[in-house]
Amino acid sequence: MCLLVGTTGVGKTLLLKRLQHCSNKGSFSEVNEAPATIPTVGTNLVNVNIGKKNDVTIRELGGCMGPIWHNYYKDCSVLMFMIDMANPCQVASSCIQLLTVLSHEQLQNVSVLLLLNKVDSPCAMNRNELDSLLRMREIISHAKQTITVLEISARRGQGLPELVKWLNENHQPESS
């Protein structure tokens, strides 16, 4: 199972809807119209087809559930952590949550995809600003996990093909 986590309002639900919609159509290209979403309270479970006979179950954990995310780590094979590039006020809490997630014993051998969302927003930080605020190099170099960073726009679908490629390369199908 893939876990999708991040602070409240970063775009996790929209990303899941976009992945599910594109999976059903068979195309992960950019689109302009974003589906309507409401904030997730609790969890959201979605199956996404990421290739020939290859499905991944993604469990989104609401941002307000941060204190109990660890209860879901046991079944996690890959982790996606989302950060809002358009909300500099949220970077500190995102950093704390990311460091907490990376330090958890049950996630030491899990591949991590760090999703930098809302790169298309007019007020989005640039990558250098975020890297500096988060001290990204230090986080990646000291983490026990393999961390991949991907800039995306869940609203427009930008980066979805790269996300699906990463899932194909890192997700281990659940055995029946």
Q: Is the pLDDT of residue 176 over 50?
A: no
The model's pTM is: 0.92
Amino acid at 28: F
Task: Lowest mean pLDDT of 2-11, 16-25, 110-119, name the range.
Answer: 16-25
Instruction: Note whether 45 and 59 are within 8 A (CB).
Output: yes
CA distances from 26 to 5, 37, 49, 90, 166 (A): 25, 22, 8, 34, 17
Q: Is the pLDDT of residue 143 over 80?
A: yes
Please tell me the CATH code under which domain 2-169 is placed. Answer: 3.40.50.300
Mean pLDDT of the 54-71 span:
93
Identify the band that residue 171 occupies on the pLDDT scale cut at 50, 70 and 90. Answer: confident
Mean pLDDT for the chain overall? 89
Spans of all domains in the chain: 2-169
Please indicate whether residue 31 or residue 158 has the higher confidence score (pLDDT). Answer: 158
